[in-house]
């Protein structure tokens, strides 16, 4: 059985996406619960937002967006979705 390189690339991209999503969740959790798990009267503020909210929600979104843009530019590839020959499609033709 011949391995399709498109499947390998799709699996790689899916794993990268899950890893970045996990990183974003950890970022959000650490700042949201790490800084936000205090008495509200002792909060520090950034641009009149509580620091936990600013770092987890406001700063986290653009940081992860830029990171995703870089990752897509470096690791994701355009792959053709059409099949060049019948052998690659498993012999079924145009299904």
β-pair type (45-46, 49-50) = antiparallel
The domain ranges of the chain are 15-75
What pLDDT digit, counting tens, does each position of 53-90 carry?
Answer: 999 999 999 999 999 999 999 999 988 877 664 444 45
Cα gap 28→6, rounded to integer Å:
33
Q: Which residues pair with 49 in a beta bridge?
A: 46
Handedness of CA 46, 50, 56, 57 (dihedral sign): negative
| pTM to 2 decimal places | 0.71
CB 54 within 8 A of CB 46: yes
Query: Which 3-state string (H, E, C) describes 33-58?
Result: HHCCCCCHHHCCEECCEEHHHHHHHH
């Amino acid at each position: 059985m011949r391995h399709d390189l498109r499947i390998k690339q799709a699996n790689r991209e899916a794993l990268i996406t899950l890893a970045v999503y996990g990183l974003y969740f950890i970022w959000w959790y650490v700042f949201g619960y790490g800084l936000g798990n205090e008495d509200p009267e002792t909060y520090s503020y950034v641009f009149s937002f509580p620091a936990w909210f600013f770092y987890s929600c406001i700063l986290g979104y653009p940081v992860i967006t830029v990171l995703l843009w870089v990752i897509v530019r470096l690791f994701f590839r355009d792959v053709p979705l059409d099949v060049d020959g019948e052998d690659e499609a498993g012999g079924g033709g145009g299904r």
